[in-house]
């Protein structure tokens, strides 16, 4: 049988291979990822588990910095080392096996200690989109963190000990335009319809259409008409309270046609209208978070070094204060609703057209700013995307790891507050820090060989940290004993869990989509609990 | 306490397991009350503990690697699927050269080679092809499937292995713990099920989101979304135009079929002024594609592997008992105690009862079995025993029987020989065993009318 063989739109190998993830971050997200270059310091099990989930989706390049030789313990817990790797350079071996996962990814291995690179070639780190570090000592952590803070390269610092794990993201500033909220709010403007929408809504006469058309009227129109009717007897106010919204609902109920026995006919669009009243009547306003962004100094004091994000924020402020009359550009998205195709498409086009017009105004303002500042142009597509997501912009203003390690007063009181709650996840954080302190003093993990005798020494570290944050010692030594039991062991599944999470956060940072953790994540595999702290 | 440097008898490279031995050979304040640290636990994990990994996809590959690196050697992997190009963004044990080969076999071969001593065994077949005897041999089953029906079937299998003592109490030795993971995009869940003791898959069916469907009249008469256009071609136009002849079924994996649907859906969209019908969307709707990424799978599988390790070693208490995870906004997890349903179809050792009007038709029972949140069956086959003889009342899975029994659906159940207290036997794809359900007639309506 001859096949109808239509012209098959060519899908590239790459599109097919990445299909399942392209549905999450799109072709533009993929392109950003392919321009990313990730540096891993120390190819521990945790380190290679992180890189695995960054190499598979196709990051541009990876660089592994590791000066250590492969040990039996490494082979036992690290999937990207094999028996023949024994005594060879750990980074080089791990790189070889990681690159097998995806031939599109480029890779390099650097067999120098991190301290030496920081001393002799600090510019080395400028090339990276994100630096990820595992298994570093206290001193190196602070030097590396300070340097990366200065040169503005994001750092993710990771730990995996026994059933505990953590990571800390250090970034000066990270702006997310596409946050992909789970429940995005609709932007229908029923309280302030733009002209073409008002004209369209007014053109309906609910009472005088035949029954079939009646069942095809979009609920937006129904609610608008009901509100108008309500306003006629309420001094043209906008219904706000629950009682007022219920009154609107009963007006909608009265719109529903009845059969010859006076029984209401089942009209899905009117049922939908009643269900939509609460959300659709939310007044259009400038979200507080957007307002803060538009009026923060980075947006009001532009320089030629300002990032496109701040330039667009500035242009957006111009729009809000001018043409937008206090409101953001229309999103241009219409939720699905029972309606005839004609009604729905017409309505959808009205919103889309208005969104395009609003974005066009913002784009012109961007062009003016760019011309004044003599900086790089921003594409119209970028401005459109920015306007589409203007309601959900997200900015992370980070803090330095240096201030966390120095336990500045705000960090100290933050830790103390959580300890007093009491929040056991903050106890884990203190133990992880104490274990790090122990390692720098004794050159081994607490409990590496002698859990009993190390307990007292680790407790001394805990006590020191607690007194630095003005907290009383822990009433029991449970957590100290547990940390000594771990003896610095790296449990593969704990590292694999964190590996997935850290890779995920690195991808968010590189693609600038979805909100990353801000800024510290603690994982307790024993109780299957996690927590996020913001230092 | 001694730090436990005694060599584990069965391994010639004791330093390889140095990390996990610390957890297994040392006691801690948060251990399971039954835990007694000893080098024998690692011996058990390596030499005796048999773990079945169900699925060798995104979660399965991770689980196999995780468990092999935690010391497990007696691993079995079952998966009926073969490798496709779109798997390679996360199923890290496969390469382009492996496309078309068995997932289970490839995964097992890779891990056995990479991790010395690992003796994983592959089963390239549907889980339904393996019998009670097969499942009974395992200490722990860990499941990384994307199909809810298969998951329910596996759950039913483990429940059917439960044995009860004479006093109706559960025989603990018949319990095979089930660790289950699932992901969808940036979200996932992991849970531990102790059959007969804690909530099972059927106890918590309401946690699965209902499948998104479009009403037929919308698709046919008032399309608004690009999805409506694609569904129209899939549901109506394909059958009508029969483009490949011979009533060839639409195959979402055949690029020519997808291209045909894409083209027709575009035509329909243009006709109605609908935009954004894309090839990717067409494929997504036709195959019901769930987005997937390596990182989420890695995290969820690792969480499951940790629980398997805890079950095998008792070195720590298990999660209680259900964790949900969302990695879209930061990384958020929540662990809660999913509750066992006392009337669960699968795991409660009690007779199932369905309440029904005495004048109900068989169709009403059929619908109840499909729609009632306790059953949520797909295509139940219903039989009964009348005067000691089996009688098939309705069965849709075999065409000839369906035709012969179709008329029964319209009949009153009393006309079919059913009565108050009668047992019906129900079979379905969601369970490996026939379920006995007792009919209970609701109070006679006469009472109602007399009021
Ligand atoms: Zn159950």
- pLDDT tens digits, one per residue of A58-67: 999 999 999 9
Nearest residue, CB atoms, B86 vs list A20, A447, A505: A20
Q: What mean pLDDT is predicted for residues A170-181? A: 97
CB-CB neighbors (< 8 A) of B65 in chain A:
79, 496
Both A393 and A405 in one domain: the answer is: no
Q: Has residue A151 been placed in a domain? A: yes
What is the model's pLDDT at position A103?
Answer: 97
What is the model's pLDDT at position B12?
Answer: 52
Q: Has residue A477 been placed in a domain? A: yes
CB pair distance less than 8 Å for A486 and B22: yes
Q: Round to whole Å and give the CA distance between A167 and A158.
A: 4
**pLDDT value at B1 more than 50:** no
φ, ψ of residue A355 to 5 degrees: the values are -60, -45
How is residue A490 annotated by DSSP? B
How is residue B47 annotated by DSSP? I
Interval between CA B397 and ligand 1 midpoint (Å): 26
Q: Has residue A5 been placed in a domain? A: no
Looking at the complex, does the CB of residue B242 fall below 8 Å from at least one CB of chain A? Answer: no
CB pair distance less than 8 Å for A58 and B185: no
Which tokens in the block code for residue B170?
């559960």
* Burial (CB count <10 Å: 0-12, 13-18, 19+), residue A13: exposed
Smallest CA–CA distance, residue B78 to chain A, in Å, is 21
Closest chain B residue to A531 measured between Cα atoms? B332
How far, in Å, are A354, B72, B108, B326 from residue B75 at the CA level? 60, 7, 9, 29
- The interface residues of chain B toward chain A in range 362-391, judged by CB-CB distance below 8 A, are none
Question: Residue A465 CB: number of other CB atoms within 10 A?
Answer: 19
Smallest CA–CA distance, residue B268 to chain A, in Å, is 12
Cross-strand pairs, A166: A159, A522
Residue with tokens 């996990």: B20
CB-CB neighbors (< 8 A) of B278 in chain A:
none
What is the model's pLDDT at position B186?
Answer: 97
pLDDT-derived band at B209 (thresholds 50, 70, 90) equals: confident
Q: The CATH number of the domain where A174 resides is what? A: 3.40.50.720
Q: Round to whole Å and give the CA distance between B13 and A76.
A: 9
Interval between CA B343 and ligand 1 midpoint (Å): 8
Q: Round to whole Å and give the CA distance between A404 and A535.
A: 7
CB-CB neighbors (< 8 A) of A349 in chain B:
273
CB pair distance less than 8 Å for B224 and A339: yes
Q: Has residue A125 been placed in a domain? A: yes
CB pair distance less than 8 Å for A345 and B16: no
What is the model's pLDDT at position A424?
Answer: 95
Q: Which of B49, B61, B217, B315 is catalytic?
A: B217
Both A174 and A214 in one domain: the answer is: no
Smallest CA–CA distance, residue A442 to chain B, in Å, is 18
Positive or negative: CA dihedral A436, A441, A442, A446: negative
* pLDDT, tens digit (0-9, with 9 covering 90-100), for A12-70: 899 999 999 999 999 999 999 999 999 999 999 999 999 999 999 999 999 999 999 99
Q: What mean pLDDT is predicted for residues A498-509? A: 98
CB-CB neighbors (< 8 A) of B29 in chain A:
478, 481-482
Both A159 and A17 in one domain: the answer is: yes
Q: Has residue A345 been placed in a domain? A: yes
Closest chain B residue to A479 measured between Cα atoms? B29
**pLDDT value at A248 more than 90:** yes
How far, in Å, are A186, A241, A278, B95, B141 from residue A246 at the CA level? 20, 9, 9, 60, 52
Alpha helices by DSSP H, listed for B127-198, are 132-136, 148-160
Question: Residue A328 CB: number of other CB atoms within 10 A?
Answer: 23
SS3 sequence of A263-317? CECCCHHHHHHHHHHHHHCCCCCCCHHHHHHHHCHHHHCCCCCCCHHHHHHHHHH
Nearest residue, CB atoms, A493 vs list B293, B306, B323: B306
Both A131 and A24 in one domain: the answer is: yes
Interval between CA B423 and ligand 1 midpoint (Å): 21
pLDDT-derived band at B373 (thresholds 50, 70, 90) equals: confident
How does A123-158 read in b/e, with b if 16+ C-beta sit within 10 Å? ebbeebbbbbbbbbeeebbbbbbebbbeeebbbbbb
Largest CA distance in chain B: 84
- Residue percentage of chain B with pLDDT more than 90: 76
Q: Has residue A190 been placed in a domain? A: no
* Burial (CB count <10 Å: 0-12, 13-18, 19+), residue B280: middle
Question: Residue A208 CB: number of other CB atoms within 10 A?
Answer: 8
Final residue of a structural domain among A281, A296, A317: A281
Q: Round to whole Å and give the CA distance between A480 and B23.
A: 15
Both A310 and A267 in one domain: the answer is: no
The residue length of chain B stands at 451
Q: Round to whole Å and give the CA distance between B441 and B356.
A: 5
What is the model's pLDDT at position A212?
Answer: 84
Residues B282, B243: contact at Cβ < 8 Å? no
Report how many Cβ contacts below 8 Å link chain A to chain B. Answer: 270
How far, in Å, are A85, A387, B158 from residue B175 at the CA level? 41, 57, 8
CB-CB neighbors (< 8 A) of B222 in chain A:
216, 338-341, 344
User: What ipTM does the predicted assembly reach?
Assistant: 0.96
Q: Round to whole Å and give the CA distance between A193 and A211.
A: 27
* pLDDT, tens digit (0-9, with 9 covering 90-100), for B40-99: 999 999 999 999 999 999 999 999 999 999 999 999 999 999 999 999 999 999 999 999
**pLDDT value at A221 more than 70:** yes
Q: Round to whole Å and give the CA distance between B86 and B255.
A: 13
Distance of CA B371 to the CA centre of its chain: 19
Looking at the complex, does the CB of residue B8 fall below 8 Å from at least one CB of chain A? Answer: no
Which one, of A430, A439, A191, A186, lies nearest residue A332 by Cα? A186
Q: Has residue A185 been placed in a domain? A: no
Q: What mean pLDDT is predicted for residues A379-401? A: 96
Residue-wise DSSP of B81-108: -B--GGGTTT-TT--GGGTTSBHHHHHH
Interval between CA B336 and ligand 1 midpoint (Å): 16
Q: Round to whole Å and give the CA distance between B181 and B1.
A: 37
CB pair distance less than 8 Å for A53 and B295: yes
What is the model's pLDDT at position A468?
Answer: 95
φ, ψ of residue B329 to 5 degrees: the values are -120, 100
Q: Which residues contact B169 (CB under 8 A, 6 or more apart)?
A: none
Distance of CA A32 to the CA centre of its chain: 15
Interval between CA B195 and ligand 1 midpoint (Å): 8
Question: Residue A66 CB: number of other CB atoms within 10 A?
Answer: 27
Both A434 and A508 in one domain: the answer is: no
What is the model's pLDDT at position A10?
Answer: 64
Q: Is B303 a catalytic residue?
A: no
Looking at the complex, does the CB of residue B298 fall below 8 Å from at least one CB of chain A? Answer: yes
What is the model's pLDDT at position A484?
Answer: 97
Interval between CA B364 and ligand 1 midpoint (Å): 24
* pLDDT, tens digit (0-9, with 9 covering 90-100), for A152-166: 999 999 999 999 999
Cross-strand pairs, B392: B383
Q: What mean pLDDT is predicted for residues A72-98? A: 96
CB pair distance less than 8 Å for B90 and A56: yes
Looking at the complex, does the CB of residue B186 fall below 8 Å from at least one CB of chain A? Answer: yes
pLDDT-derived band at B10 (thresholds 50, 70, 90) equals: very low
**pLDDT value at B446 more than 70:** no
Both A272 and A297 in one domain: the answer is: no
Nearest residue, CB atoms, B1 vs list A5, A452, A518: A452
First to last CA, chain B: 78
CB-CB neighbors (< 8 A) of A168 in chain B:
none
Q: Round to whole Å and give the CA distance between A499 and A492.
A: 10
What is the model's pLDDT at position B444?
Answer: 59
CB pair distance less than 8 Å for B256 and A8: yes
Looking at the complex, does the CB of residue B20 fall below 8 Å from at least one CB of chain A? Answer: yes
Q: Has residue A219 been placed in a domain? A: yes
Nearest residue, CB atoms, A497 vs list B23, B116, B303: B303
Q: What's the total number of domains in chain A?
A: 4
Final residue of a structural domain among A218, A248, A281: A281
Q: Which residues contact A488 (CB under 8 A, 6 or more apart)?
A: A161, A435, A439, A444, A445, A446, A447, A448
Question: Residue A491 CB: number of other CB atoms within 10 A?
Answer: 28
Closest chain A residue to B243 measured between Cα atoms? A4
Closest chain B residue to A6 measured between Cα atoms? B260
Q: Which of A218-232, A420-434, B342-356 has the lowest mean pLDDT?
A: B342-356
Residue-range definition of the domain harbouring residue A358: 288-397
Q: What mean pLDDT is predicted for residues A97-102? A: 98
Looking at the complex, does the CB of residue B302 fall below 8 Å from at least one CB of chain A? Answer: yes
Checking DSSP bridges between strand B178-184 and strand B187-193, what pairing results, if any? antiparallel
CB pair distance less than 8 Å for B329 and A100: no
Both A43 and A142 in one domain: the answer is: yes
What is the model's pLDDT at position B13?
Answer: 67
Both A391 and A424 in one domain: the answer is: no
pLDDT-derived band at B433 (thresholds 50, 70, 90) equals: confident
What is the model's pLDDT at position B167?
Answer: 86
Positive or negative: CA dihedral A379, A384, A385, A389: positive
How far, in Å, are A88, A245, B62, B89 from residue A49 at the CA level? 19, 53, 10, 15
Both A316 and A427 in one domain: the answer is: no
Final residue of a structural domain among A281, A314, A337: A281
Looking at the complex, does the CB of residue B243 fall below 8 Å from at least one CB of chain A? Answer: yes
SS3 state at A66: coil
Residue with tokens 């789970």: A182
Of the residues A500, A517, A529, the best mutation for testing chain B's interface (the one with the most B CB atoms within 10 Å of its CB) is: A500
Both A56 and A170 in one domain: the answer is: yes
What is the model's pLDDT at position A511?
Answer: 98
Looking at the complex, does the CB of residue B85 fall below 8 Å from at least one CB of chain A? Answer: yes
pTM for this prediction: 0.94
Q: Which of A386-400, B226-240, B326-340, B378-392 has the lowest mean pLDDT?
A: B378-392
Closest chain B residue to A394 measured between Cα atoms? B329
**pLDDT value at B9 more than 70:** no
CB pair distance less than 8 Å for B331 and A530: yes
What is the model's pLDDT at position A8?
Answer: 56
How far, in Å, are B63, B385, B386, B413, B420 from residue B389 at the CA level? 47, 5, 5, 17, 18
Both A204 and A306 in one domain: the answer is: no
CB pair distance less than 8 Å for A72 and B26: no
Of the residues B8, B13, B28, the best mutation for testing chain A's interface (the one with the most A CB atoms within 10 Å of its CB) is: B28
What is the model's pLDDT at position A72?
Answer: 93
CB pair distance less than 8 Å for B331 and A482: no
């Amino acid at each position: 049988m001859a096949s109808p063989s239509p012209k098959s739109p060519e899908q590239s190998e790459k599109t097919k291979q990445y299909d399942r993830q392209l549905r999450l971050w799109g072709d533009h997200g993929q392109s950003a990822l392919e321009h990313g270059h990730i540096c891993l310091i120390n190819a521990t099990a945790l380190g290679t588990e992180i890189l695995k989930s960054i190499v598979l989706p196709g990051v541009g390049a990876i660089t592994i910095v590791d000066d250590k030789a492969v040990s039996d313990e490494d082979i036992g817990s690290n999937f990207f080392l094999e028996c023949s790797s024994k005594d060879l350079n750990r980074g080089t071996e791990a790189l070889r096996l990681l690159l097998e996962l995806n031939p599109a990814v480029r890779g390099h291995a650097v067999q120098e200690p991190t301290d030496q690179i920081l001393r002799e070639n600090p510019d080395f780190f400028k090339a990276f989109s994100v630096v990820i570090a595992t298994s570093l000592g206290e001193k190196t952590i602070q030097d590396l963190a300070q340097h990366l803070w200065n040169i503005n390269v994001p750092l993710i610092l990771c730990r995996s000990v026994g059933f505990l794990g953590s990571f800390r993201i250090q970034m000066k500033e990270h702006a997310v335009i596409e946050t992909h909220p789970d429940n995005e709010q609709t932007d229908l403007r029923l309280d302030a319809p733009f002209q073409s929408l008002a004209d369209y809504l007014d053109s309906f006469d609910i009472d005088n259409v035949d029954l079939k058309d009646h069942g095809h009227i979009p609920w937006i129109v129904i609610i608008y008409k009901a509100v108008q009717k309500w306003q006629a007897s309420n001094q043209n106010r906008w219904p706000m309270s629950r009682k007022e919204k219920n009154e609107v609902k009963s007006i909608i109920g009265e719109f529903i046609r009845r059969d010859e026995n006076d029984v209401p006919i089942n009209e899905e669009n009117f049922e939908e209208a009643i269900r939509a009243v609460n959300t659709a009547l939310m007044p259009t306003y400038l979200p507080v978070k957007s307002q803060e962004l538009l009026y923060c100094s980075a947006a009001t004091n532009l320089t030629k070094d300002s990032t496109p994000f701040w330039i667009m924020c500035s242009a957006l402020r111009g729009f809000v204060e001018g043409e937008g009359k206090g409101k953001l550009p229309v999103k241009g998205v219409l939720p699905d609703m029972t309606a005839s195709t004609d009604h729905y498409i017409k309505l959808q086009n009205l919103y889309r057209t208005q969104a395009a017009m609003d974005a066009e105004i913002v784009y012109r303002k961007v062009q003016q700013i760019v011309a004044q500042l003599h900086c790089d142009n921003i594409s119209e597509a970028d401005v459109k995307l920015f306007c589409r997501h203007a309601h959900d912009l997200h900015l992370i203003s980070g803090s330095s790891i240096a201030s966390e390690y120095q336990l500045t007063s705000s960090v100290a009181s933050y830790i103390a507050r959580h300890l007093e709650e009491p929040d056991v996840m903050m106890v884990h954080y203190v133990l992880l820090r104490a274990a790090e302190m122990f390692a720098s003093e004794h050159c081994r993990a607490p409990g590496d060989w002698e859990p009993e005798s190390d307990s007292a020494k680790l407790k001394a570290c805990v006590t020191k940290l607690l007194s630095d944050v003005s907290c009383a010692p822990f009433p029991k030594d449970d957590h100290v004993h547990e940390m000594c039991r771990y003896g610095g062991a790296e449990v593969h599944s704990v590292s694999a869990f964190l590996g997935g999470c850290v890779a995920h956060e690195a991808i968010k940072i590189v693609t600038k989509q979805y909100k990353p953790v801000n800024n510290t994540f603690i994982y307790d595999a024993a109780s299957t609990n996690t927590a996020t702290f913001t230092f | 306490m001694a730090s436990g440097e005694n060599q584990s008898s069965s391994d010639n490279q004791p330093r390889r397991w140095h990390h996990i031995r610390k957890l297994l050979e040392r006691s801690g304040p948060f251990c399971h009350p039954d835990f007694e640290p000893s080098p024998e636990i690692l011996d058990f994990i390596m030499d005796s503990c048999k773990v079945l990994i169900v699925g060798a996809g995104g979660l399965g590959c991770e689980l196999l690697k995780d468990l092999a690196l935690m010391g497990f050697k007696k691993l079995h992997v079952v998966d009926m699927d073969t490798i496709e190009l779109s798997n390679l963004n996360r199923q890290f044990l496969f390469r382009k050269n492996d496309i078309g080969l068995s997932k289970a076999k490839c995964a097992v071969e890779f891990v056995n080679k990479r991790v010395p001593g690992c003796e994983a065994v592959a089963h390239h077949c549907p889980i339904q092809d393996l019998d009670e005897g097969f499942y009974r041999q395992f200490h722990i089953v860990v499941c990384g499937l994307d199909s809810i029906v298969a998951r329910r079937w596996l759950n039913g299998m483990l429940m059917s292995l439960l044995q009860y003592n004479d006093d109706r109490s559960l025989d603990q030795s018949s319990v095979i713990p089930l660790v289950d993971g699932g992901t969808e995009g940036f979200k996932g869940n992991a849970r531990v099920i102790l059959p007969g003791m804690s909530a099972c898959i059927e106890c918590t069916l309401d946690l699965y989101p209902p499948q998104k469907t479009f009403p037929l009249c919308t698709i046919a008469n008032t399309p608004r979304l690009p999805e409506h256009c694609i569904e129209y071609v899939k549901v109506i136009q394909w059958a009508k135009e029969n483009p490949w002849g011979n009533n060839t079924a639409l195959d979402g994996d055949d690029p020519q079929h997808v291209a045909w649907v894409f083209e027709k859906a575009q035509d329909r969209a243009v006709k109605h002024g609908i935009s954004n019908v894309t090839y990717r969307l067409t494929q997504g709707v036709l195959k019901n594609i769930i987005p997937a990424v390596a990182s989420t799978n890695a995290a969820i599988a690792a969480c499951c592997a940790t629980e398997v390790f805890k079950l095998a070693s008792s070195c720590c208490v298990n999660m209680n008992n259900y964790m949900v995870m969302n990695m879209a906004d930061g990384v958020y997890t929540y662990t809660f105690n999913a509750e066992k349903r006392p009337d669960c179809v699968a795991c409660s050792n009690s007779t199932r009862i369905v309440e029904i009007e005495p004048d109900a038709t068989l169709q009403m029972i059929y619908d109840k079995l499909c729609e009632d949140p306790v059953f949520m069956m797909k295509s139940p086959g219903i039989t009964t025993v009348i005067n000691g003889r089996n009688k098939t009342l309705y069965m849709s899975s075999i065409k000839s029987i369906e035709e012969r029994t179709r008329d029964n659906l319209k009949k009153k159940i009393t006309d079919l020989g059913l009565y108050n207290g009668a047992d019906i036997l129900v079979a379905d794809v969601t369970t490996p065993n026939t379920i006995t359900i007792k009919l209970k007639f609701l109070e006679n309506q006469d009472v109602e009318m007399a009021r």
